[in-house]
Structure formats: C-alpha cells, structure tokens
Amino acid sequence: MQYYRKLIETLPNGNRVEYNMKNGISVACGTINAGFDNEQKAFKIKGRVQKNKANTIGSISIKAPDNKMFEKAPGLSKGLSTRRSPNNNQVKLKLKKINRDADNNVIEYIYSIIYTAKSKISSSSPMSFNFSSVSQDVLNRVLGIKSLKCDYGVIYESGGRKKITIKGDKNTEFKLNVCSVKEQNGAIVETSLIGDVISNYQHDGKNTISGKINDSGTYTYIQEFPAETEETNYAIHLQGGSYSDSFDASFYEKDKVGWNGWYCKTIKQVMDPTVTIRTKLLDNTSSGKTVTINGATTDASTHYDKLYKGRYDSIAAPLKGYATAAGTGGGINLNEFEIEYVLTTNAGTFSILKSDIASGDFANMIQDSEGNYVSVTTTTPPILSSADRICTLKLKFIISKWGTSDVTMSLDFNTIVTIS
C-alpha cells in the first residue's frame, strides 16, 4: 500500500475525499469488498507525533458530486476494536470551513484532523474509525429572508428591551422598523422607536433600518421600549428583498395600512395589575356620629383604600419578613405585608362582633381553582381603648401570584364591630 502526504479518492457513493497531511504524516487508501454493494474505502494514516498533546496532523475535505449536497455533516465514530482497546488515544475532526453552492446548499466540509497520543500503537494493532458521509440531490431553493423573531414575553409597564432577530440567506437585503401603535383622536398613529443614530432609511417619514443578512445568516437588533401609563402595542415591520421558501407568511400580518409589501409582528406592553384593599365603616346607629379608618372619615360614599401594585402575570416577589403599609399608599410587587387599622368614633362606643378576620370576610377575594391568590389572616385581633371609642387591629396579607388585571377586594368593618 502506497503512502502519500496528499491523497484524493472517490468513495463508492460518489463523494470525493481529499487528505492533506503535515510533514512526517502520510496516508494510504485501500478497498474493502471491491465490486460488491458493500464496497468501502479504507484509509490508513501513519507517522510520529508528540505524546500527550493535541497534534493537528492534517486536513480532510469531503465534497459532494455535481448536483448533490449534504443534508447533515459527516460523522466520525470509533471502530469496534478501538472501543474495546484500553488505550486513550483520541482522533477528532475540527470544522474549518463549509462551502456552499449558489443556492446555499452545503457541498463541502473541510476539517482539521487532530490526534492526541496517550500511548504507543503499532501497525499490528492500529486504531480504527468509521467515517460516514451521505450526499443527496440538491434542492433548488428560493433564497431570502427565513424568519423574524422577537424575544418571548410581554413588555412590562416600566419598559424593557427585546432582541429582534432576522434570519435569512447571506447578503439578503431587508428593511426593519419598530413602531408604537396608539389611537389619537380616533386615528391610529404609529411612531418609530428606531433612533436617529442607527436609522439609515425613511419609510413614510419614519426612522427605519436598511441592511443585509451577514455571513452567519442572521441580523440582530436590540430595541429599547419606554415606560408607559397605558397598554400599548408595538409593530415590528419587515420587508425583505426576497423571501426564502422556508419563510412562513402565516406567522405575520401582511400589507397593513401604510405598509404595503411589509410583514408585521405585534407585541404588547402591559400594565402591571393593582390590588385595592378597600375597607368601609358606617355609623350604624343613624345618629350622625363621625367615624374614621386610619384618620380618614368614612360614610356611605367614602371608603379607605390601600393600593398594591404587582408584576403582570407573575409569581409575587418574596421579601424577608413583611412590609407594613403606610398612609393610603401601599407597596410594589410585595408578596407579604401587614396593615394596621385604627377605627374611631366621636360618640358612642364600639363592640366587637368578630375577632378572627380571614379571607372569607372580604368581598371579591382573588381566587383560582386551587385556592386563594390572596390570603388574609389576623395578626392582632380587635382591641378596644379610650373608653371603647378606638378599635385597633392588624391584618396580614399574602399574595401568591399577580394576575393580569386590577382587582378591588373589600371588607365592611360593620361586620367586625358595631357602634352603639
């Protein structure tokens, strides 16, 4: 068997293999089962390398025949005798280059051959590897934009950033625009979020990006979204110079007003939900007494509210201990807090009807099929003072999950105390 530093052979399946070995390394080729359906080529490599070091001993290219392509990369696996061998020598292929035809079909792989010698081997007990490469008829593909994707998830009211990725064939031209979509005076108004610095094109007076798909087949853009006070939609508009046959138009809205020939994806900015904990207390003697909750006078049309804002459709954020709400404000994204209520009357006296206040005492409690999103317990039961004209109590609230809309849950203190 003749050994060479450079060797080109055609495999039985028509693929062409080319070896280019480093100095001191050579390769030979023989045929197994010649003339039969299971005919194979057997390549032998010999030479000397430095022990315990990853040595690049050469390169190998695998090229498909004319009008053929590779659907997947060639594979290298250890032969049976090598798998059973106690030595730890290693052979690896490191990808150097992929060549494609005019239709972007893969027609050639080029690898570096890397050999790490842990122990000495001989020609009588060589290492063996199976190398497979399967080519198939070329696909006459239409080249162009393949997809437009945006990071998953909604945008919260505080704003945020999203990665927008356009995939396609190399050098495909495209135009990209990101707009807020709002109704103003009965008309839909779109305002571009593309900054002046990055914008290099105008579409109907709107800042737009004009570019090309790079060698990796992608274009990536990070868009900042501002904080908003109302639910807002954003339109991601894309126009390609051409579209690949793998582009699925059903995922997009096409030809929106003002965007003829463009495809659009819409994402939403949501408002974080607020839970209002509402309490009321009336003079149930009809004698015109003044009653207050935490200093706020309450009557048939006035109540005392605590507002707590969370994160849209999210598990409530855990805090160490709990936060005590102050004033008529509340908290942001809490999951556990206490509210102290001080009830007063300027005449008459309080009597306690109930000492243990719980979730069931509130109207419009937030629940799901498995239990409460909000649970209420009494940490300090009602206590009377100042000749029974002041009643003080403390409640603990635990929010397990924030929903998607505002909710008001209410407690009528006239079910807890009575005034005489």
What does the alpha-carbon distance between residue 77 and residue 62 come to, in Å, rounded to a whole number? 16
Identify which has the larger pLDDT, 119 or 28: 28
Query: 287 vs 36, 50, 291, 310, 343, CA distance in Å?
Result: 111, 103, 11, 41, 17
Q: What mean pLDDT, rounded, does the chain reach?
A: 88
- The mean pLDDT of 89-97, rounded to a whole number, is 92
Is 87 a residue whose pLDDT tops 80? no
Share of the chain above pLDDT 70, in %: 94
| pLDDT for position 331 | 61
How many Å separate Cα 122 from the centre of its chain? 53
- The mean pLDDT of 310-330, rounded to a whole number, is 60
**Dihedral pair phi/psi, residue 108, rounded to 5°:** -155, 140
Is 125 a residue whose pLDDT tops 90? no
| pLDDT for position 5 | 93
Sign of the CA dihedral with 200 first, then 206, 212, and 216 last: positive
Reduced to 3 states (helix: H, G, I; strand: E, B; else coil), residue 135 is strand
| pLDDT for position 390 | 97
Angle at 261 between CA 258 and CA 262, to 5 degrees: 75
Place 86 in a pLDDT band, splitting at 50, 70 and 90: confident
Place 328 in a pLDDT band, splitting at 50, 70 and 90: very low
Angle at 103 between CA 99 and CA 106, to 5 degrees: 30
Is 148 a residue whose pLDDT tops 90? yes
Is 320 a residue whose pLDDT tops 50? no
- The mean pLDDT of 231-258, rounded to a whole number, is 95
What does the alpha-carbon distance between residue 349 and residue 420 come to, in Å, rounded to a whole number? 5
| pLDDT for position 171 | 92
What does the alpha-carbon distance between residue 412 and residue 398 come to, in Å, rounded to a whole number? 20
| pLDDT for position 329 | 53
Fold of 145-269: Immunoglobulin-like (2.60.40)
Place 325 in a pLDDT band, splitting at 50, 70 and 90: very low
pTM for the whole thing?
0.63
CB 76 within 8 A of CB 91: yes
Residue span(s) of the chain under CATH 2.60.40.10 come to 145-269
| pLDDT for position 69 | 92
